[in-house]
Amino acid sequence: MKRFVSCVLAVSMVGSLTACSGSESKNYAVSYDDIAVGDVSSGVSVHDPSILEVDGTYYIYGSHMTAAKSTDLLNWESIADGYMKTNPVYGQIYDVADEAFAYAGSKDSIIKTDDGGTHVWAPDVIFNETTGLYYMYYCTSSTWNASNICYATSTSPEGPFEWQGALIYSGFSNRNIEYTDVLDYVDEDFAKKTYIKAGAYNYEDYPNAIDPTVFYDKSGRMWMVYGSWSGGIFLLELDPSTGLVIHPSADEENNVDAYFGKRLIGGGHISIEGPYIMYDPDTDYYYLFVSYGNLTSNGGYQIRVFRSNEVDGEYIDMNGEYPGKSAMHQNYGLKLSGNYKLPSLERAYMATGHNSAFVDSDGKEYVVYHTRFNDGTENHSPRVHQMLMNQEGWPCMLPYQTQGETVFDTGYEEADVVGRYYMIDQGTDISSDIANPIIIYLNNDYSLDGKNVSGSWSMVDETYYMSLTIDGEDYSGVFCKMWDEAGTEVMTFSAVGSNKSLWGVKY
């Protein structure tokens, strides 16, 4: 039986149409005049948020030694912010700075930083069921490809986390490979011929040791997925009794390297980073989330997802494909979110990316990311949206950030969903373009029409499942009642097809 997930409310929609047919006169012009505008702010800035739930409290950890906590996934309280010895979550790292930053991350490192400063990026925290401690995995980083994945432990999710050691190195050359542990696992001749190219690190084939995230598979084994641009996304198993890497045997045919682990997707220094793997026990799939584009507000930053029946792949998209080395990667991966503007938003959301994801203790599933805004700045803020799986087991990210909505297996009546929708198409591009809404109507004869679009829609009785066909393209998704940014109760849909996401909001 499908678990109950989120979205139920008795809805009073502004300007909704309870019955309409393809023959009625309709207004397809987009207007926000009668729609309230709001700004549900998180109250904190946490970049690259990775989430952990502990006894009903949610923690997000981010780059630049930030962290925050919440009890509702909406309002966040900062508990750590910035590079300082007094930082209560991360500050202990400065007590061992000579070790923690020996290779990368400060002006005194083996590999000097581009700006001479300290860099601690993209942490992820997991409760280790074997040791009973919280383990934080993060990187100290120097240049765009020279980094070092480290780990730290604590008895509390709020720290302090005590640095334990370095795990994986990248960005080395013939001059400094001896300062890494690479030669403990591979032959020196092999390392210098393979990992080093023309005297420098072979970044197109091998990873940047950054953006680590750690998870348990369905059999209880612990894994770390990592990588940013460079050679792509890689996977390594961890020993739960120590938190250390279990280096595999090399298997060139299956893209397994003895030091870096298995390459899952990417390579050739294309924009792919921020990997996160979530297992869904209902669908029995592992979902690999990544981000494409540049992280600035006009850089086209966005969330993509692939899935696999096995933890180590292969991870494929809705077309059964994945990006290999130097692939035109915009053609691969289901795009969940990019730049978009919806009714009730004061500003367009820009560069929505570098997400984590989780299944809550009550069975609901969420995606957690940071967004910038179309306001001329690079200010950013975390957001949490609920995901519902469609009938085919692909995640459909709901249009608005979660505010406690709940959907049940019994779904909705036809009268609840027929009417006028503001719909956006997230597309598959990687650009600064904003997905703006058009008006469409879901008619009570199951036709669909809008300006320059036509098609049909359907719903599965006594469920929240729905489908759309628009101009010959098929999309499978879900209906869900929720609150928009201004607190108005609205019916929404989220549907996916051909690696694209469509969102609709009924007014």
Structure tokens at 324: 């290999």
Q: Which residue has the higher pLDDT, 155 or 327?
A: 155
Strands 196-197 and 147-154: unpaired
- pLDDT, mean of residues 502-506: 98
Q: Residue 1: pLDDT above 60?
A: no
Structure tokens at 353: 């990316």
- Are 307 and 393 in contact by the 8 Å Cβ rule? The answer is yes
Structure tokens at 23: 């023959």
pTM, two decimals, is 0.95
Query: Which position has the token pair 């950054």?
Result: 210
C-alpha–C-alpha distance, residues 265 and 225, integer Å: 11
Contacts of residue 33, defined as CB under 8 A and 6 or more positions apart, other chains included, come to none
Range of lowest pLDDT (36-45, 196-205, 427-436): 36-45
Q: Residue 21: pLDDT above 60?
A: no
What does the pLDDT read at residue 15?
35
Question: Which long-range contacts (C-beta less than 8 Å, at least 24 apart) are formed by 279-283?
Answer: 279/215, 279/216, 279/217, 279/218, 279/311, 280/359, 280/365, 280/389, 280/393, 281/218, 281/359, 282/2, 282/3, 282/389, 283/389, 283/393
Taking only the tens place, the pLDDT of each residue in 162-179 is 999 999 999 999 999 999
How does DSSP assign 163-232, residue by residue? EEEEEEE-S--TTTGGGSSGGGTS-HHHHHHHTEETTEE-TTTS--S---EEEE-TTS-EEEEE--STT-
How does DSSP assign 83-94, residue by residue? S-TT-TTTGGGG
Which amino acid, residue 28?
Y
Return the closest-CA partner of residue 63 out of 82, 35, 41, 77.
Answer: 82
Q: Quote the Cα angle for 167-169-171, to 5°.
A: 170
C-alpha–C-alpha distance, residues 398 and 427, integer Å: 16
What does the pLDDT read at residue 24?
60
Return the closest-CA partner of residue 122 out of 60, 185, 72.
Answer: 60
Active site residues: 48, 273
Q: Return the exposure string of 301-334: e unless at least 16 CB atoms fall within 10 Å of the residue's CB, then b.
A: bbbbbbbbeebbbbbbbbeeebbbbebebbebbb
Taking only the tens place, the pLDDT of each residue in 342-376 is 999 999 999 999 999 999 999 999 999 999 999 99
Using CA atoms, how far residue 207 sits from 112, 183, 195, 306, 333, in Å, is: 19, 17, 10, 19, 20
Q: Residue 19: pLDDT above 80?
A: no
Structure tokens at 302: 């966005």
Taking only the tens place, the pLDDT of each residue in 381-404 is 999 999 999 999 999 999 999 999
Percent of the chain at pLDDT exceeding 70: 95
